[in-house]
Structure 1
Amino acid sequence: MNKNLRRGLLSLAVAGTVLAALPIPSMAAAKVTIMVGGINKMVYLPAKLAEQLGYFKEEGLDVELQSQPAGVDAENELLAGAVQAVVGFYDHAIDLQTKGKEITAITILGQVPGEVELVSTKAAPHFQSMADAKGKTLGVTGLGSSTNFLTQYLASRHGISSKQFSVLPVGADNTFIAAMKQGRIDAGMTTEPTASLLLKTGDAQVLVDMRTVEGTVKALGGLYPASSVYVQRSWLNSHKEEAQKLARAFVRTLRFINTHSAEQIAEKMPKDYYGSNKALYIQALNNSLPMYSQDGKMPKGGPETVLSVLSGFNPNVKGKHVDLSKTYTDEFVNAVK
């Protein structure tokens, strides 16, 4: 063996030894920003719970959760490209398709809305059902939000058009509670734990309950898939690996919810979610457990019910052709073992 060859082999051996001694760089986790349409709402609890359980990290995702008080604001952030995904109501996917925007739900978190139409105790004697909504002021989280869609539909089922009552955007949580207590709204649509807080203080009564399958079918005529994880179709087509990881993290979270008690779930949540009244938070969570999906799949007939609700009054959807198959996909949840 000549000297040059020996020197070359020796150099390679030394280089190999040095490289072997160097730390192997870890693959950077994929960054995904998710906007939640009100992160404290129990309808969207799976987002924070997935983070608390460490499921995003286990999937190799670097997830940042942000919050907007209304789903319509979260939707706008997605369309602007400021975030990659939204945890919000599925009905936005139908509404946006009629405006030329392609949004696809990749995991269904709630098989029912989880919403409650509350009437203030002061207004209750003259407000026994949505048939009494004429001339009243009804609170919603935001104009164009899912609560706005549902409020108008519930009234329309009693022959009352949206011109016959006033809608006031009052947000959620404390701002909703204040609007109810101050008499700025006669009734309003909200979620847990806000509903349980107002019921406990005696400031409100239940008018329409869509936290359960039975209540939702009675109010809307069928299952109404609501809280979901949705993304822009253009992002989905180029980020299928990230979409699969998100779906897996959320399906694992749904399985955790469906196999643990409200007390056990509450233990996993940050303390500021229940503050000084953990018992009330657990009670509200117990009220909410029936709404969560078990597998993240779109419930049969669900998209048709949502389309029916929106077509009933929403001028964007009424009379328009909607390809429901493009508004959701079970491809990713089906791949979760």
Structure 2
Amino acid sequence: MRKNTRRLWIGLFSLVLCGMIFSGCSGSKSEVKVKVGEVTRSVFYAPEYVALSKGFFKEEGLDVELQTIPGGDKTMTALLSGAIDVALVGSETSIYVYQQGSDDPVINFGQVTQTDGTFLMARNGEGKVDWNQVKGSTFLGQRKGGMPQMAGEFTLRKHDIDPQKDLKLIQNIDFANIASAYLSGTGDYVQLFEPQASIFEKEGKGHVVASFGEESGHLPYTVFMSKQSYIKKNSDTVQKFTNALQKAQNWVQQHSPAEIADAILPYFKDADKDIIVSSVQRYKDQGTYATDPIVDDAEWNNLLDVMSQAGELKEKVQAKAIVDNSFAEKAKSSVK
């Protein structure tokens, strides 16, 4: 009788112990899903892909579902409609929403890139561009009101070129088709992101002759943002998301272009590794990747100047109206 009782207690203890172990191993909490929409797939967004490939989002308990939605207008539409939770897109889109008097403004909370990411490619010529030769040319630009186009126009004006009068500016080609339009023979010059610029150089289709990132200075060019209502309801998730971004930014700063290329190659399956390395190198050399997620006042004011010159700014929007640096500041101070 005593033996049977003893066996019973040992059995019950074993069941409880196994249950405790199983509970600990399975994780006390399930991951929170976050739907993210990026405006394009580009080496320009290397920290985002590093956060995914290195598991930084996972470490924060987030299950990030990434999709590419070409064009800032389309990405913002997806965010406003609730199709995505977070957008990686130019800060100008949040200003456009604010200018329309939205009851639920879009808030910038995590900067990824701090310069323009496009390069001027010339069909003929190499070395540094002679801006005088750009006058009278056919220039294949970007979408009106988008950051690439506004930064491009800002640069052209800096070199005494009126984009509306001094050249034939083509802006009626959809963002996703600009590269193929250039490839088919449209334009003497084109504004391209990496890795497309490096690919065309390797194929002998043209030469990069200028960097709009270097020309237009520091801007909150591409930022993670979400609707104010989402941030208020999910502040813990937004903080974890920003922590993961800071981890990725630290990692990018500490590693070589070749190491970064290895980390992000899964997101560029058909790309040549050498092309990815050279693209990352270009962006690192010009300080494109932000070292932390904070949008500072100098960058914001430069953005307003660029938009104002492009005629896209109805009023000067103070950063405090649609920028929340609290998550970025906390991530910068706590993530090592």
Q: What is the aligned partner in structure 2 of residue 65 from structure 1?
A: 66
Hey, what's the Cα distance between the residues in 1 that align with 2:82 and 2:259? 36
Q: Which residue of structure 2 lines up, in the alignment, with residue 181 of structure 1?
A: 183
How many residues are matched? 307
Of 94-103 and 258-267, the range deviating more from structure 2 = 94-103
CA contact (8 A) 1:131 1:160 kept: no
Give SS of 1:291's match.
coil
1:20, distance to aligned residue in structure 2 (A): 8.7
RMSD (CA atoms): 2.8
In structure 1, C-alpha distance between the alignment counterparts of 2:194 and 2:137, rounded to whole Å: 27
Distance change (3 Å), C-alpha of 1:79 and 1:64: same
Secondary structure of the residue aligned to 1:301 is helix
2:292 is aligned to 295
C-alpha offsets along residues 73-94 of structure 1, whole Å, 9 cap, x if unaligned? 2112111111110111222222
Superposition deviation, residue 274 in structure 1 = 5.7
- 1:286 and 2:289 correspond: no
The 1-side partners of 2:94 and 2:300 are apart by 10
Write out aligned runs for 1:51-90 (5 A): 51-90=52-91
Equivalence for 2:7: none
Question: Which residue in the other structure is 1:103 paired with?
Answer: 106
Match of 1:149 in 2: 150
Counterpart residue identity of residue 96, structure 2: D
Offset, 1:170: 4.4
- Give the direction of change, closer, same or farther, for the CA distance of 1:18–1:280 in structure 2 (3 Å limit): closer
Q: Which residue of structure 1 lines up, in the alignment, with residue 317 of structure 2?
A: 322
**Kept after mapping to 2: 8 A contact 1:297/1:333:** yes
Instruction: Check 1:234–1:61 CA distance in 2 against 1; reply closer, same or farther (3 A cut).
Output: same
CA contact (8 A) 1:134 1:160 kept: no
* Cα displacement (A) at 1:272: 6.0
Matched, 1:310 2:313: no
- SS of the aligned residue for 1:34 comes to strand
Deviations 1:110-156 (A, max 9, x none): 1211221223228x8xx84278355624232x444322222333334
1:6-39 CA distance string (max 9 Å, x none): xxxxxxxx9xx87994854742221110001112
Partner of 2:9: none
CA distance in 1, matches of 2:228, 2:212: 29
Gaps of 5+ in 1: 1-13
| 1:120 equivalent in structure 2 | 123
Amino acid at match of 1:293: A
Q: Deviations over 1:274-323 (max 9, x none)?
A: 636211211111111221111222245000000001011234x14x2412
TM-score, normalised via structure 1 length: 0.81
**Structure 2: 5+ residue runs without aligned partners?**
1-11
Q: TM-score, normalised by structure 2?
A: 0.81
1:93 has 2:126 as partner = no
Equivalent position to 1:231, from 202, 226, 234: 226
SS in 1 for 2:218: coil
Determine if contact 1:79/1:232 at 8 Å carries over to the other structure: yes
One-letter amino acid of the counterpart of residue 197, structure 1: I
Q: Secondary structure at the match of 2:317?
A: coil
Q: Relative to structure 1, is the Cα distance of residues 155 and 183 closer, same or farther in structure 2, using a 3 angstrom cutoff?
A: same
Within 2, Cα distance between the matches of 1:91 and 1:332?
20
Match of 1:257 among 214, 235, 252: 252
Cα 1:138–1:130 change in 2 (3 A) is: farther
Closer, same or farther: CA 115–314 of 1 in aligned 2, 3 Å: same
Instruction: Give, in whole Å, the separation in 2 of the partners of 1:260 and 1:275.
Output: 23
Deviation for aligned residue 1:333: 1.6
